[in-house]
């Protein structure tokens, strides 16, 4: 018993020290803390409960695969660094089907920033999460905010529901599309249309980019009347760093608007709901349910789940 008390005391000191170092901008401690939170090491909840309030806003970058999200994030990092600001980046990658680790192909495009003193980049695997976001993304994002970055960028994998889920996490959601979508703008996911605070038409040097932007504006027009908040559309050529300054300006304008709005509290409610749900489900997993079903031979699923309700 005495030994367990000593271990808990040692862990408490470790978390306290890590939090202190994170607030001082120590990126090695930040990287270590993210790993500990990811793996739910004992005491991590206490660290989260002691995180200081932060005014750092989260920029969510989402959109279909091939839209150029990673190249756009790379260019945004350059814009932020040029303004003498610090930026933390979380890149949510597809998981390897074998070990649930991140497949890091896209991160090569950001390699020039890995050793920059004002830039911190971390790749996270979805770990099989159906939504396409890391299951601990909220907690990790809050740890990042505590590290004193001026901006935190989260880039989603761009598959499944991650395009929609990012809206429950980011203060400003940037949806990246390309002109090749063409007629597809007419059938674009309703959810994707609704979550965008800023639309980026990337690879805007390609044919029909202007027509695509025009069609996108027409599609968004009804939404403007419903919300009274215009969704910006910005043309970029991320590979050539064109339009990035204007994009960052639009992001900053939006973040000024959402300081104390109804949306801000819906955003907090969305996070709180997810965290409560996660806590209540922590003792339940699919593998365990499968074993119980096999052992019981239960044929009626509703009878089976009564024990959990």
- Residues 84-113 have pLDDT tens digits of 999 999 988 754 433 344 444 445 556 778
| pLDDT range class, residue 21, cuts 50, 70, 90 | very high
Whether 236 and 206 have beta carbons less than 8 Å apart is answered as no
CA distance 213 to 205: 12
| pLDDT range class, residue 1, cuts 50, 70, 90 | very low
Burial pattern 52-67, b for ≥16 Cβ within 10 A else e, equals eeeebbbbbbbbbeeb
CA distance 208 to 94: 31
Give the containing element (helix H, strand E) for 232.
strand 232-235
Alpha-carbon torsion, ordered 23, 141, 203, 212, to 10 deg:
-130
pLDDT over 90 percentage in the chain:
35
DSSP designation for 130? T
Residue 301, pLDDT > 90, answer no
CA distance 120 to 123: 10
Nearest to 200 by CA among 134, 257, 244: 244
Residue 163, pLDDT > 90, answer no
* pLDDT score recorded for residue 133: 65
Average pLDDT over residues 38-65: 89
Residue 277, pLDDT > 70, answer yes
Under 8 Å CB-to-CB from 258, ≥6 apart: which residues? 171, 172, 264
Residue 28, pLDDT > 60, answer yes
DSSP designation for 149? -
Give pTM, 2 decimals: 0.82
DSSP designation for 96? P
Nearest to 241 by CA among 198, 204, 210, 196: 204
Higher-confidence residue of 285 and 222: namely 285
Alpha helices in the chain (DSSP H): 2-23, 27-38, 44-49, 69-82, 137-146, 162-165, 190-195, 209-227, 244-257, 262-280, 286-296, 301-305
Residue 130, pLDDT > 90, answer no
Whether 127 and 95 have beta carbons less than 8 Å apart is answered as yes
CA distance 122 to 22: 15
For 214-244, the pLDDT digits (tens) are 888 888 776 554 455 678 999 999 999 999 9
């Amino acid at each position: 018993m005495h030994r367990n008390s000593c271990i808990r005391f040692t862990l408490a000191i470790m978390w306290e020290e890590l939090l202190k170092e994170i607030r001082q901008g120590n990126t090695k401690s930040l990287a270590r803390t993210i790993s500990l939170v990811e793996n739910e090491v004992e005491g991590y909840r206490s660290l989260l409960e002691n995180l200081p309030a932060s005014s750092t806003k989260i920029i969510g970058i989402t959109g279909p695969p091939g839209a150029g999200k990673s190249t756009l994030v790379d260019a945004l990092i350059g814009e932020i660094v040029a303004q003498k600001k610090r930026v933390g980046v979380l890149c949510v990658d597809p998981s390897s089907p074998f070990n649930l680790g991140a497949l890091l192909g896209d991160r090569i495009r950001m390699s020039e920033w890995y050793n920059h003193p004002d830039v911190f980049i971390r790749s996270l695997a979805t770990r099989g999460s159906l939504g396409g976001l890391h299951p601990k993304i909220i907690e990790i994002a809050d740890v990042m905010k505590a590290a004193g970055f001026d901006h935190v960028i989260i880039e989603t994998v761009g598959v499944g529901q991650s395009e929609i889920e990012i809206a429950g996490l980011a203060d400003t959601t940037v949806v990246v599309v390309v002109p090749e979508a063409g007629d597809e703008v007419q059938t674009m996911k309703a959810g994707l249309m609704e979550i965008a605070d800023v639309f980026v038409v990337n690879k805007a040097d390609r044919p029909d980019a202007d027509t695509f932007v025009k069609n996108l504006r027409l599609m968004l027009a009804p939404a403007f009347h419903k919300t009274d908040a215009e969704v910006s559309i910005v043309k970029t050529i991320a590979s050539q760093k064109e339009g990035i300054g204007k994009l960052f300006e639009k992001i900053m304008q939006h973040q000024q608007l959402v300081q104390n709005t109804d949306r801000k509290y819906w955003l907090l409610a969305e996070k709180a709901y997810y965290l409560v749900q996660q806590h209540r489900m922590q003792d339940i997993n699919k593998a365990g349910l499968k074993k119980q079903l096999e052992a019981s031979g239960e044929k009626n699923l509703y009878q089976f789940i009564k024990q959990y309700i």
